[in-house]
Structure 1
Amino acid sequence: MACVAGASFALVAGARALVQRPRAAALAAGLVALPLLAAGCGSAGGDTEKVDIVATTTQLGDFVREVGGEAVAVDQILQPNSDPHDYEPRPSDVEGAASAEVIFASGDNLDAWIGEIVSDSGSDAKVVDLGAEVPVRLPGESSGEEASKYDPHWWHDPRNAEAAVREIERALAAADPAHRPAFERNARAYLAKLRALDRGIARCIDSVPPTRRKLAVIPSQTTQAQASAQDLSELAKTIEAEDVQAIFPESSLSSKVADAIADQTGASAEYTLYGDTLGPEGSSGDTYIGMEEANADAMVRGFTGGERGCNPSD
C-alpha cells in the first residue's frame, strides 16, 4: 500500500477501514488517492403534532427522517455540498435550536459549532452525540483546529450507521412515547436495509483483487488547508511508481488538484465520491444508502480502470 502522510478525512477513513477490516464492509473501504481534503415543540401525545428535531448533518437528517417518519419535523443545519469543517452558524440555526426537543449531533469535533448554537438559543433540548455511540473507530487528527481522538467521519461504515439509528430510535421514543411503536417499526425496517448495504459493499469490494486496491492519500485538502506543492509532487511520484489507476475527487470539493495529478500521472479522476455530505436532491447520493452505494460503485470502477462497476443492492 502506498500512502502519503496527511490528514485523514471522510474518504480516507473508509480507506483505512479497508486495511483494518479484510472483508471491507465499510463503504469508503477502498480509496485510491483521495479526498481532496477530507414553532414550539410538538407534544408527545397528539396525533397531528410533530416532535421538532434538529440534525446537524445531512446524514443525520436522513437517519432521523427514516426513523421518525411523519411524527417528526426535522430542521437540518448542513445542506448538501456544504462543508462541516468551516461552517458558520446562522441566526436561523439558533431559532431552530430554540424550539427543538431533541438535537442530534455527529460529534468528534466535526460539528463542534452546535455547542455555540445551543448556547445562543438558550435551548433546553436533549443533545444526543451520536458519534459517541458508534462501535468502529479510527484515529483522528492529533493537532490543529479539528483535533479529535477519533476520525469524525464514522458514518462511512454501515455498522456505525446502525448504532446511530438505534440511538435515534431510543431518543425519539423518549421524546414521544405515543409514537414508540412507529419508531421501532421504522427503525427495524431501516436497519435491515443497512445490514443489506453492508453485505453488498463487502461483495463489491471483494470483487476487486487485493493487489488492485492501492491506497494513496492527498494530504490535507479542505477549505481550511491545502497540500503543498512538494506534497503533491511526492504523491504524483508514488502514484506512478505504484501504478495507481484512479484518483477520486470528493463530490463537494473542487477537482482541480485531482485533475492536475491525473494529467501528470495518467491516472483517472473520472469517478467522484460523496464524503462529508449527501448529494443534492435527485442525485445518486441524496440519501445515505444511495451515497454509499454510489461510492462503492465508483471505487470498483476506479480500481478496475472502468472495466466494471458494482451495485451493492443487486
Structure 2
Amino acid sequence: MLNRRLLFLSGLLAAIGLPLPAFAQEKLPVVASFSILSDFVREVGGERVALTTLVGPDGDAHVYSPTPADAKAMAAAELVVVNGLKFEGWLTRLVKSSGSKAPLATATDGIVPLKLQAGDGHGHGGGEDPHAWQSVANAKIYVANILRALSAADPAGKASFEANAAAYLAKLEALEGEIKAAIARIPADRRKAITSHDAFGYFAKAYGIAFIAPQGVSTEAEASARDVGRIIRQVKAQKVPAVFLENISNPRLIEQIARESGARVGGRLYSDALSGSEGPAGTYIAMMKHNISQIEKALAAGPA
C-alpha cells in the first residue's frame, strides 16, 4: 500500500486548501506478469502507476526464465498482477526468491475456465486453459479485477482508476461488435483454422471459429509426428482453409502442415504476447483487431 501517513497528510493538506507536496504524487509501483496483462494495467492505472512487465512483447510466458532484474522489481512492487490458471508456472519461485510482500491480484478471478480434455497428449489432460483474455467478455473481467486491486493499493486514485476503466470498457464493447461483425462475414462452413498451439479456445467458444492445434495449450510440449500427421489428415478431410503462424512460436511446424496439407498460411496471429509498440499488435485492442482481420481475410472467401 502507498504509505498511509503520506495519504493522511495529503488528504489533510487538500482539506485546508494547501498544495500537495511532491512526495504525495509518487506513482504506485506495479508488476504485471506479461505484456497483455500489462496493457490492461496501463489502461486502468494511467499516470498513477509505475509499471514493470516481466515477460515483454513477443515473449513466451509458458517457458520464461525470470531474471535478477525481475526479482528486484518484485521486491519493490506494491502490487503484482498475474493471469493465474497456472499460466505463469515460474511465478511462485520468483515471489519466494524476491522476498516480495506485495499483494498478488489474479486477473482471471471470477472467470469460468475452459477445461482441457483429459489425455490431450501434451501433458495438460484435465487441466484448465489459461488463455482467457482471448474472449473480450473475459477481458472486461480482467479490467474489473485490476480496477479493484489498484483501488485497494492506492485508495486516493480510485476515482481516476474508475474513470479510466469506464472509458476502456466502452472501447472493449466496440471491439466486441467489430469481431462479431467480421465473424458474420465468414461463411459458416469456413470457420475453422489451424494454429501452432492451443491458445484460442476462449476465442473459439465466444465467436464460433474452430481452432485445431498440434501443440496443446503450452508451448513447452513438442508436437509429436503422430499429432502433426493427424492434423494434416484432418485439414485435408475437413477442407480447413488456412493455417496461422503465431508470434511466440517457431513457424516451421505450421509451414510443414501447410506444405503437406495444401492449406495456405493465413498470416500471423498474436496469441500470448503483444508485439512491440511499432508492430501491428502493440495493445490488446490492436492485437484483437489484427487477429480478426487476418482470420477474416484468410477464411472469408476463396478456395480451401
TM-score for both structures, normalised by structure 1 = 0.79
**Equivalent of 2:212, from 214, 217, 230?**
217
**Structure with the higher fraction of residues in helix conformation:** 2
In structure 2, list runs of 5 or more residues that go unmatched: 11-22, 193-209
Listed as ranges, the matches of 1:111-130 within 5 Å are 111-130=88-107
Which residue of 269, 275, 282 corresponds with 1:273? 269
User: Is the aligned partner of 1:51 residue 2:37?
Assistant: no
Q: Does 1:167 align with 2:162?
A: no
Per-residue deviation, residues 77-126 of structure 1 (Å, max 9, x unmatched): 00111111111111111111111111001001111322111111211111
Query: 2-side partners of 1:112 and 1:182: how far apart?
Result: 33
Aligned to 2:116: 140
Q: How does 1:217-256 map to 2 (within 5 A)?
A: 217-220=212-215, 223-256=219-252
Q: Which structure would you say has the larger Rg?
A: 2
- SS of the residue aligned with 1:291? helix
Give 2:207's aligned residue. Answer: none
Whole-angstrom CA distance in 2 between matches of 1:196 and 1:303: 22
Matched ranges for 1:51-130 at <5 A: 51-130=28-107
Shift of residue 218, structure 1, vs aligned partner: 2.9
One-letter identity of the residue aligned with 1:208: I
Q: Tell me the equivalent position of 2:287.
A: 291
Q: How far apart, in 1, do the equivalents of 2:136 and 2:172 lie?
A: 6
**How far apart in 1 are the matches of 2:261 and 2:301?**
14
Is residue 141–residue 151 contact of structure 1 (8 Å, CA) maintained in 2? no
- CA-atom RMSD, angstroms? 2.2
Asked whether the equivalents of residues 278 and 291 of structure 1 are also in contact (C-alpha less than 8 Å), the reply is: yes
Q: Is the 8 A contact 1:278 1:285 kept in 2?
A: yes
Q: Is 1:303 aligned to residue 280 of structure 2?
A: no
Distance, in Å, in 1 between the alignment partners of 2:31 and 2:125 is: 25
Report Cα offsets for 1:199-243 as digits up to 9, x if no partner.
211111111121111345232266422222222222112211221
Q: 1:105 to 1:124 in 2, by over 3 A?
A: same
Q: Give TM-score scaled by structure 2 length.
A: 0.81
Secondary structure at 1:247's aligned position in 2? strand
Give the residue type in structure 2 aligned to 1:210: A
**Is the 2:186–2:301 Cα contact (8 Å) retained in structure 1?**
no
C-alpha distance in structure 2 between counterparts of 1:251 and 1:305, whole Å: 24
In the aligned structure 1, how far is the partner of 2:266 from the partner of 2:141?
A: 33
CA contact (8 A) 1:79 1:277 kept: yes
Greater relative contact order (Cα < 8 A, sep 6+): 1
Secondary structure, counterpart of 1:111 in structure 2: coil
Task: Measure, in 1, the Cα distance between the counterparts of 2:110 and 2:57.
Answer: 24
CA 47–69 in structure 1, closer or farther in 2 if over 3 Å, else same: farther
- Three-state SS of the structure 2 residue aligned to 1:252 is coil
**Secondary structure at 1:272 match in 2:** strand
Name the CA shift for 1:129/1:241 in 2 (closer, same or farther; >3 Å): same
Which of 261, 264, 268 pairs up with 2:257? 261
Q: Percent identity?
A: 36
Deviations 1:146-174 (A, max 9, x none): 67742100000011111111111111111
Give the direction of change, closer, same or farther, for the CA distance of 1:306–1:113 in structure 2 (3 Å limit).
Answer: farther
User: Where in structure 1 are there 5+ consecutive unaligned residues?
Assistant: 1-39, 308-314
- Deviation of the 1:306 alpha carbon: 6.5
Whether the 8 Å CA contact 1:246–1:305 is kept in 2: the answer is: no
Q: Which secondary structure state, in structure 2, belongs to the residue aligned with residue 248 of structure 1?
A: strand
- 8 Å Cα contact 1:245-1:304 kept in structure 2: no
Runs of 4+ that moved beyond 6 A = 40-43
In 2, Cα distance between equivalents of 1:101 and 1:216 = 39
* Letter matched to residue 123 of structure 1: S
